[in-house]
Amino acid sequence: MDGKLKAVGKLQQLEEKRRDRIGQQLDVMRQRHAYLSAQLSQLSALKAHAGQSALLRPSLNSATLMNLNSVDQMLQKMLRHQEQEQAVMQAECASMQKVLAGKHARVQGLENVLERWRKKQSYEKAKKEQRLIEDIINSRFKRKAI
């Protein structure tokens, strides 16, 4: 039984390390997601500012309009790319959360098994000690009876 307890204890430690590593990866992904969100909002603000700055100019010629149009298209592509990257990051975060929940459930299950086996071992030990005490008492009683 001691071998089983040691094996389950080591397995539990391994699973805890894996769970912690996945938790750290999830934190890194969340930080990247927050960074991408900030970039997305900055790009949106830049696009809005570029459009407003063109309206504030007193004269618009064809070269300025072409430049403004190309800047607007470039910013729109960047916005789409950032939105897609953010969606991918959200999906990855959700996936990592599911994996983390699974690992946590596994660790909890191993903890429960370990605790149950320890209780069983202590019960068996107490039962064995009780038998030994009963045997000692019975042998003393038999000696006195003889």
pLDDT recorded at residue 101: 92
Percentage of the chain exceeding pLDDT 90: 28
The structural domains of the chain, with segments of one domain joined by +, span: 2-145
Topology of domain 2-145, CATH: Helix Hairpins (1.10.287)
| pTM reported for the whole predicted model | 0.64
- Tens digits of per-residue pLDDT, 41-77? 888 888 777 777 766 766 767 777 777 788 878 888 8
What was the pLDDT predicted at 119? 94
| 3-state helix/strand/coil string of the chain | CHHHHHHHHHHHHHHHHHHHHHHHHHHHHHHHHHHHHHHHHHHHHHHHHHHHHHHHCCCCCHHHHHHHHHHHHHHHHHHHHHHHHHHHHHHHHHHHHHHHHHHHHHHHHHHHHHHHHHHHHHHHHHHHHHHHHHHHHHHHHHHHHC
Of the two residues 46 and 110, the one the predictor is more confident about is: 110
What percent of the chain shows pLDDT beyond 70?
93
